[in-house]
Structure 1
């Protein structure tokens, strides 16, 4: 039933609890979170990166000028449709714009601090 999710290697799609989708540079990052199993400290998650499709679009009808625009990968849209089918009954109440911005900011802080730690560890190896 969930052919695109099983093609990703997800054996039990019904165990999916939620997902997140964000854009980093020219990639869309899909992170799928599974239900926490008994005895696990943290719930499992998997991350997939999809390059954005680049298209050239005419900017003006009179001139021959084009500009590049990016859009979501077609395969990713099919996966999101399947994820929405699974998670539609579990939708969390919508966050206010302020709450969403704060949530995005906290996530960015975690990503940046993790990357800084990784770079510092690489620098230590060079000594």
Structure 2
């Protein structure tokens, strides 16, 4: 189901929690973090380094000037696509956040309404 991750030696992609990607010199460093297992102090992680692809790009056609440009390795993009399908059920996270905000808003409405009634009752006592 995840051929690129399997190619990296990751046989149980469901254990992946998150990943990070950074650039060091002419390499991209991918670090994959796994869910912490019972009894472990720290979650396990693995690190992979991918050399960046170097291309010469024409900057000025009149003077035929080229500039060296680096870009992400194609294999790494395939791995990241697979990781995104595992780690980013973004719709669910957004709806969870939306539900939390709505619950907080409803609670705030109740608190404000209750306080308004309390203040109105105090005003009635002053009459």
* Same fold per superposition (TM over 0.5): yes
How do residues 25-64 of structure 1 correspond to structure 2 at under 5 angstroms?
Answer: 25-64=25-64
TM-score (structure 2 length as normaliser): 0.70
Q: Indicate the residue corresponding to 2:107 in structure 1.
A: none
Q: How many residues align?
A: 93
Quote how far apart the aligned CAs of 1:92 are: 8.0
When the two chains are superposed, the root-mean-square deviation of aligned CA atoms in Å is 1.7
**Per-residue deviation, 1:76:** 0.1
Q: Which runs of 5 or more structure 2 residues have no equivalent in the other structure?
A: 95-127
What does residue 16 of structure 1 align with?
Answer: 16
Alignment of 1:97-112 (within 5 A): none
Aligned-partner SS, 1:37 = coil
C-alpha distance in 1, partners of 2:4/2:35? 20
- Alpha-carbon offset, residue 82 of structure 1: 0.1
Match of 2:73 in 1: 73
Shift of 1:48: 0.2
Deviation for aligned residue 1:4: 0.1
Higher alpha-carbon Rg: 2
> Which residue of structure 2 lines up, in the alignment, with residue 123 of structure 1?
none
Matched residue SS, 1:78: helix
Cα shift readout 1:27-55 (whole Å, capped 9, x = no counterpart): 00000000000111100000000000000
CA distances 1:12-36 after superposition (whole Å, capped 9, x unpaired): 0110000000000000000000000
